[in-house]
Structure 1
Amino acid sequence: MTRWRPLTLAALVLFAIGGAGCSDKNEHDPFALMEGEAIYKAECASCHGAKLEGQPDWRTRRADGKMPAPPHDASGHTWHHPREQLAAIVKHGLVPPNAPAGYVSDMPAYAGKLSDKQIDNVLAWIESQWPAEIRQQRAEMLQQRQ
Protein backbone atom coordinates (compact mmCIF):
# COMPACT_ATOMS: atom_id res chain seq x y z
CA MET A 1 0.00 0.00 0.00
CA THR A 2 2.87 2.41 0.68
CA ARG A 3 3.98 2.26 -2.95
CA TRP A 4 0.74 4.07 -3.96
CA ARG A 5 1.32 7.03 -1.64
CA PRO A 6 3.75 8.84 -3.99
CA LEU A 7 1.24 8.53 -6.83
CA THR A 8 -1.59 9.74 -4.64
CA LEU A 9 0.49 12.68 -3.45
CA ALA A 10 1.47 13.55 -7.04
CA ALA A 11 -2.17 13.45 -8.12
CA LEU A 12 -3.18 15.72 -5.25
CA VAL A 13 -0.43 18.20 -6.08
CA LEU A 14 -1.45 18.29 -9.75
CA PHE A 15 -5.07 18.75 -8.67
CA ALA A 16 -4.18 21.65 -6.39
CA ILE A 17 -1.96 23.40 -8.94
CA GLY A 18 -4.25 22.96 -11.92
CA GLY A 19 -7.69 23.07 -10.46
CA ALA A 20 -8.03 25.37 -7.48
CA GLY A 21 -10.83 27.80 -8.08
CA CYS A 22 -11.55 26.63 -11.62
CA SER A 23 -14.93 26.12 -13.15
CA ASP A 24 -14.66 22.98 -15.23
CA LYS A 25 -13.71 19.38 -14.61
CA ASN A 26 -10.85 19.55 -17.16
CA GLU A 27 -8.87 21.77 -14.78
CA HIS A 28 -8.71 18.80 -12.43
CA ASP A 29 -7.48 16.42 -15.12
CA PRO A 30 -3.69 16.62 -15.48
CA PHE A 31 -3.85 14.97 -18.91
CA ALA A 32 -6.34 17.58 -20.16
CA LEU A 33 -4.04 20.32 -18.86
CA MET A 34 -1.02 18.72 -20.52
CA GLU A 35 -2.85 18.53 -23.83
CA GLY A 36 -4.03 22.13 -23.44
CA GLU A 37 -0.49 23.31 -22.76
CA ALA A 38 0.89 21.42 -25.75
CA ILE A 39 -1.76 22.84 -28.08
CA TYR A 40 -1.24 26.34 -26.68
CA LYS A 41 2.51 26.10 -27.33
CA ALA A 42 1.94 24.79 -30.87
CA GLU A 43 -0.95 27.04 -31.94
CA CYS A 44 -1.13 30.11 -29.70
CA ALA A 45 2.24 31.00 -28.16
CA SER A 46 3.68 32.49 -31.35
CA CYS A 47 1.22 35.39 -31.01
CA HIS A 48 0.02 35.33 -27.39
CA GLY A 49 3.46 34.59 -25.94
CA ALA A 50 5.08 31.59 -24.32
CA LYS A 51 4.28 33.11 -20.92
CA LEU A 52 0.79 34.32 -21.97
CA GLU A 53 2.19 37.88 -22.17
CA GLY A 54 0.65 38.86 -25.52
CA GLN A 55 2.17 41.23 -28.04
CA PRO A 56 3.59 44.66 -27.15
CA ASP A 57 1.10 47.54 -27.13
CA TRP A 58 -1.78 45.07 -27.42
CA ARG A 59 -4.36 47.83 -26.88
CA THR A 60 -3.09 49.98 -29.76
CA ARG A 61 -4.14 49.32 -33.34
CA ARG A 62 -1.18 48.58 -35.63
CA ALA A 63 -0.45 50.45 -38.87
CA ASP A 64 -2.24 47.68 -40.82
CA GLY A 65 -5.43 48.37 -38.81
CA LYS A 66 -5.28 45.12 -36.85
CA MET A 67 -5.15 44.75 -33.10
CA PRO A 68 -2.15 42.90 -31.62
CA ALA A 69 -2.69 39.66 -29.75
CA PRO A 70 -3.69 40.38 -26.15
CA PRO A 71 -2.11 38.71 -23.14
CA HIS A 72 -3.85 35.77 -21.53
CA ASP A 73 -2.09 36.22 -18.21
CA ALA A 74 -3.49 38.19 -15.27
CA SER A 75 -2.48 41.52 -16.89
CA GLY A 76 -4.95 41.07 -19.74
CA HIS A 77 -8.71 40.89 -19.87
CA THR A 78 -9.17 37.27 -20.92
CA TRP A 79 -10.20 36.37 -17.39
CA HIS A 80 -13.09 38.85 -17.62
CA HIS A 81 -14.87 36.69 -20.21
CA PRO A 82 -16.89 33.50 -19.68
CA ARG A 83 -15.43 30.24 -20.94
CA GLU A 84 -18.20 29.92 -23.56
CA GLN A 85 -17.28 33.25 -25.16
CA LEU A 86 -13.57 32.40 -25.16
CA ALA A 87 -14.31 29.03 -26.75
CA ALA A 88 -16.40 30.74 -29.45
CA ILE A 89 -13.53 33.16 -30.18
CA VAL A 90 -11.06 30.30 -30.56
CA LYS A 91 -13.47 28.26 -32.65
CA HIS A 92 -14.88 31.00 -34.92
CA GLY A 93 -12.34 33.84 -34.65
CA LEU A 94 -12.93 37.41 -33.58
CA VAL A 95 -16.20 38.09 -35.31
CA PRO A 96 -19.43 39.52 -33.87
CA PRO A 97 -20.90 38.71 -31.42
CA ASN A 98 -17.55 37.60 -29.95
CA ALA A 99 -15.80 40.86 -30.79
CA PRO A 100 -16.94 44.42 -31.37
CA ALA A 101 -17.76 45.47 -34.91
CA GLY A 102 -14.62 46.69 -36.64
CA TYR A 103 -12.26 44.71 -34.41
CA VAL A 104 -9.76 43.16 -36.79
CA SER A 105 -6.86 40.94 -35.80
CA ASP A 106 -4.79 38.03 -37.03
CA MET A 107 -6.71 35.60 -34.80
CA PRO A 108 -7.59 32.55 -36.89
CA ALA A 109 -10.65 30.39 -36.42
CA TYR A 110 -9.78 26.89 -35.22
CA ALA A 111 -13.06 25.19 -36.15
CA GLY A 112 -12.13 22.07 -38.09
CA LYS A 113 -8.58 22.10 -36.72
CA LEU A 114 -9.26 21.71 -32.99
CA SER A 115 -12.12 19.81 -31.41
CA ASP A 116 -14.33 21.44 -28.80
CA LYS A 117 -12.59 19.33 -26.15
CA GLN A 118 -9.15 20.46 -27.32
CA ILE A 119 -10.27 24.10 -27.23
CA ASP A 120 -11.66 23.57 -23.74
CA ASN A 121 -8.37 21.98 -22.65
CA VAL A 122 -6.40 24.98 -23.94
CA LEU A 123 -8.68 27.34 -22.04
CA ALA A 124 -8.43 25.17 -18.93
CA TRP A 125 -4.63 25.32 -19.13
CA ILE A 126 -4.65 29.11 -19.59
CA GLU A 127 -6.95 29.48 -16.59
CA SER A 128 -4.74 27.19 -14.52
CA GLN A 129 -1.88 29.67 -15.03
CA TRP A 130 -3.73 32.56 -13.40
CA PRO A 131 -3.02 33.39 -9.77
CA ALA A 132 -5.61 32.14 -7.27
CA GLU A 133 -6.86 35.68 -6.58
CA ILE A 134 -7.59 36.24 -10.30
CA ARG A 135 -9.46 32.93 -10.54
CA GLN A 136 -11.47 33.93 -7.46
CA GLN A 137 -12.25 37.41 -8.85
CA ARG A 138 -13.31 35.82 -12.12
CA ALA A 139 -15.59 33.32 -10.40
CA GLU A 140 -17.23 36.13 -8.42
CA MET A 141 -17.60 38.35 -11.49
CA LEU A 142 -19.14 35.58 -13.59
CA GLN A 143 -21.46 34.60 -10.72
CA GLN A 144 -22.77 38.18 -10.55
CA ARG A 145 -23.57 38.08 -14.28
CA GLN A 146 -25.92 35.12 -13.85
Structure 2
Amino acid sequence: MSWRKVVFSLLGIAAAGLGLVGAWPWLAARITNGDASATTVALGKTLYAKHCATCHGANLEGQRDWKSPLPSGRMPAPPHDASGHTWHHADGVLFRITREGPAAVVGGGYQSDMRGFGTIMSDEEIRAVLGFIKSTWPERERQYQAEMTRRERETMQ
Protein backbone atom coordinates (compact mmCIF):
# COMPACT_ATOMS: atom_id res chain seq x y z
CA MET A 1 0.00 0.00 0.00
CA SER A 2 1.36 3.41 -0.88
CA TRP A 3 1.98 6.13 1.70
CA ARG A 4 -0.69 8.33 0.12
CA LYS A 5 -3.28 5.60 0.67
CA VAL A 6 -2.32 5.39 4.34
CA VAL A 7 -2.73 9.15 4.88
CA PHE A 8 -6.05 9.34 3.11
CA SER A 9 -7.22 6.20 4.91
CA LEU A 10 -6.51 8.02 8.12
CA LEU A 11 -8.56 10.97 6.88
CA GLY A 12 -11.39 8.49 6.60
CA ILE A 13 -10.85 7.58 10.23
CA ALA A 14 -11.34 11.20 11.18
CA ALA A 15 -14.55 11.42 9.19
CA ALA A 16 -15.90 8.26 10.80
CA GLY A 17 -14.83 9.39 14.24
CA LEU A 18 -16.54 12.72 13.83
CA GLY A 19 -19.67 11.22 12.29
CA LEU A 20 -19.33 13.10 9.01
CA VAL A 21 -21.30 10.54 7.08
CA GLY A 22 -22.35 13.07 4.45
CA ALA A 23 -18.71 13.73 3.54
CA TRP A 24 -17.84 10.04 3.31
CA PRO A 25 -18.22 9.50 -0.48
CA TRP A 26 -15.76 12.35 -1.18
CA LEU A 27 -13.33 11.06 1.45
CA ALA A 28 -13.60 7.48 0.19
CA ALA A 29 -12.57 8.65 -3.28
CA ARG A 30 -9.58 10.51 -1.79
CA ILE A 31 -8.57 7.45 0.23
CA THR A 32 -8.58 5.22 -2.81
CA ASN A 33 -6.34 7.59 -4.74
CA GLY A 34 -4.03 8.72 -1.93
CA ASP A 35 -0.53 8.21 -0.51
CA ALA A 36 0.83 9.06 2.96
CA SER A 37 4.13 10.82 2.94
CA ALA A 38 7.24 9.58 4.68
CA THR A 39 7.00 12.78 6.71
CA THR A 40 3.60 11.76 8.09
CA VAL A 41 4.85 8.29 9.03
CA ALA A 42 7.96 9.82 10.66
CA LEU A 43 5.75 12.17 12.68
CA GLY A 44 3.61 9.21 13.70
CA LYS A 45 6.69 7.28 14.80
CA THR A 46 7.81 10.20 16.97
CA LEU A 47 4.35 10.63 18.50
CA TYR A 48 4.04 6.89 19.08
CA ALA A 49 7.35 6.90 20.97
CA LYS A 50 6.17 9.83 23.08
CA HIS A 51 2.59 8.78 23.85
CA CYS A 52 2.16 5.06 23.14
CA ALA A 53 5.40 3.11 23.53
CA THR A 54 5.35 3.15 27.33
CA CYS A 55 2.40 0.75 27.29
CA HIS A 56 2.35 -0.72 23.78
CA GLY A 57 6.13 -1.21 23.53
CA ALA A 58 8.89 0.58 21.66
CA ASN A 59 8.65 -2.10 18.96
CA LEU A 60 4.83 -2.28 19.03
CA GLU A 61 5.08 -5.57 20.94
CA GLY A 62 2.47 -4.79 23.63
CA GLN A 63 2.56 -5.81 27.26
CA ARG A 64 3.43 -9.29 28.47
CA ASP A 65 0.49 -11.74 28.54
CA TRP A 66 -1.69 -9.16 26.81
CA LYS A 67 -4.57 -11.62 26.40
CA SER A 68 -4.91 -12.25 30.17
CA PRO A 69 -6.48 -9.75 32.58
CA LEU A 70 -4.28 -7.85 35.00
CA PRO A 71 -4.96 -8.17 38.77
CA SER A 72 -7.13 -5.05 38.35
CA GLY A 73 -9.34 -6.96 35.91
CA ARG A 74 -8.32 -4.67 33.07
CA MET A 75 -6.57 -5.94 29.98
CA PRO A 76 -2.89 -5.22 29.29
CA ALA A 77 -1.96 -3.07 26.30
CA PRO A 78 -2.06 -5.24 23.17
CA PRO A 79 0.66 -5.27 20.55
CA HIS A 80 0.23 -3.14 17.46
CA ASP A 81 2.53 -5.28 15.33
CA ALA A 82 1.29 -8.20 13.23
CA SER A 83 1.13 -10.47 16.31
CA GLY A 84 -1.73 -8.42 17.79
CA HIS A 85 -5.26 -7.68 16.67
CA THR A 86 -5.01 -3.99 15.74
CA TRP A 87 -4.96 -4.86 12.05
CA HIS A 88 -8.31 -6.65 12.45
CA HIS A 89 -10.06 -3.31 12.97
CA ALA A 90 -11.26 -0.78 10.41
CA ASP A 91 -9.81 2.72 10.29
CA GLY A 92 -12.81 4.34 11.97
CA VAL A 93 -12.62 1.98 14.93
CA LEU A 94 -8.87 2.52 15.37
CA PHE A 95 -9.27 6.29 15.21
CA ARG A 96 -12.11 6.31 17.73
CA ILE A 97 -10.29 4.00 20.17
CA THR A 98 -7.24 6.25 20.02
CA ARG A 99 -9.16 9.50 20.23
CA GLU A 100 -11.81 8.55 22.82
CA GLY A 101 -10.35 5.47 24.53
CA PRO A 102 -11.37 1.81 24.25
CA ALA A 103 -14.32 2.16 26.65
CA ALA A 104 -16.04 4.51 24.19
CA VAL A 105 -15.96 1.80 21.52
CA VAL A 106 -16.45 -1.34 23.62
CA GLY A 107 -19.19 0.12 25.85
CA GLY A 108 -21.00 -1.91 28.48
CA GLY A 109 -19.02 -0.39 31.34
CA TYR A 110 -15.71 -1.63 29.93
CA GLN A 111 -12.77 -0.17 31.81
CA SER A 112 -9.32 0.33 30.39
CA ASP A 113 -6.05 1.82 31.52
CA MET A 114 -5.89 3.56 28.14
CA ARG A 115 -7.35 7.02 28.11
CA GLY A 116 -8.46 8.76 24.98
CA PHE A 117 -5.81 10.92 23.35
CA GLY A 118 -8.19 13.44 21.76
CA THR A 119 -7.17 16.12 24.25
CA ILE A 120 -3.46 15.29 23.95
CA MET A 121 -3.04 14.86 20.20
CA SER A 122 -4.83 16.52 17.32
CA ASP A 123 -6.81 14.39 14.88
CA GLU A 124 -3.98 14.84 12.39
CA GLU A 125 -1.47 13.57 14.94
CA ILE A 126 -3.65 10.57 15.76
CA ARG A 127 -3.88 9.78 12.04
CA ALA A 128 -0.08 10.04 11.82
CA VAL A 129 0.36 7.57 14.69
CA LEU A 130 -2.05 5.14 13.06
CA GLY A 131 -0.24 5.63 9.74
CA PHE A 132 3.04 4.74 11.41
CA ILE A 133 1.57 1.63 13.01
CA LYS A 134 0.01 0.50 9.74
CA SER A 135 3.29 1.11 7.89
CA THR A 136 4.95 -1.61 9.99
CA TRP A 137 2.51 -4.39 9.09
CA PRO A 138 3.27 -7.03 6.48
CA GLU A 139 1.30 -6.81 3.24
CA ARG A 140 -1.20 -9.54 4.24
CA GLU A 141 -2.23 -7.68 7.40
CA ARG A 142 -2.44 -4.34 5.57
CA GLN A 143 -4.68 -5.88 2.91
CA TYR A 144 -6.95 -7.44 5.54
CA GLN A 145 -7.21 -4.14 7.41
CA ALA A 146 -7.91 -2.26 4.19
CA GLU A 147 -10.76 -4.69 3.49
CA MET A 148 -12.20 -4.09 6.97
CA THR A 149 -12.04 -0.35 6.27
CA ARG A 150 -13.74 -0.81 2.89
CA ARG A 151 -16.57 -2.72 4.58
CA GLU A 152 -16.83 -0.04 7.25
CA ARG A 153 -17.23 2.61 4.52
CA GLU A 154 -19.94 0.58 2.81
CA THR A 155 -22.01 0.45 5.98
CA MET A 156 -21.69 4.22 6.39
CA GLN A 157 -23.03 5.06 2.94
Give the gaps of 5 or more residues in structure 2: 11-34
Question: How does 1:55-74 map onto structure 2 within 5 Å?
Answer: 55-74=63-82
Structure 1 position 101, deviation (Å): 2.3
1:121 aligns with 2:128: yes
Larger Rg: 1
Q: CA 1:59/1:103 → structure 2, altered by over 3 Å: closer, same or farther?
A: farther
Percent same amino acid among aligned pairs? 41
Say whether 1:108 aligns with 2:115. Answer: yes
**In structure 1, what is the Cα distance between the partners aligned to 2:100 and 2:46?**
21
The more displaced of 99-108 and 56-65 is 99-108
Off by >4 Å, runs of 4+ in structure 1: none
- Contact 1:59-1:68 within 8 A present in 2 as well: yes
Provide TM-score, normalisation by structure 1: 0.78
Report the RMSD for the aligned CA atoms in angstroms: 2.1
> What does 1:21-60 correspond to in 2, within 5 Å?
22-25=5-8, 28-60=36-68
Q: Cα distance, 1:102 vs. partner?
A: 4.0
- Taking structure 1 as reference, are residues 115 and 141 closer, same or farther at Cα in structure 2, changes over 3 Å only? closer
Within 5 Å, which residues of 2 pair with 1:69-108?
A: 69-96=77-104, 98-108=105-115
How many residues are aligned here?
128
Match of 1:9 in 2: none
- Corresponding letter in the other structure for 1:132: E
Q: What is the TM-score when the length of structure 2 is the normalising length?
A: 0.73
Contact between 1:67 and 1:103, CA under 8 Å: does it hold in 2? no
Structure number with higher helix proportion: 2
Paired residues of 1:36 and 1:121 also in contact (CA < 8 A): yes
Q: Which residue of 2 aligns with 1:131?
A: 138
Judged with a 3 Å threshold, the aligned counterparts in structure 2 of structure 1 residues 84 and 140 are, in CA distance, closer, same or farther, namely closer
Cα displacement string for residues 74-116 of structure 1 (whole angstroms, at most 9, x for unaligned residues): 11111111111111111111123x1252432210111221000
Shift of the 59–101 alpha-carbon distance from structure 1 to 2, 3 Å rule, reads farther
| Mapping 1:12-23, distance limit 5 Å | 19=3, 22-23=5-6
Residue 140 of structure 1 aligns with which residue?
147
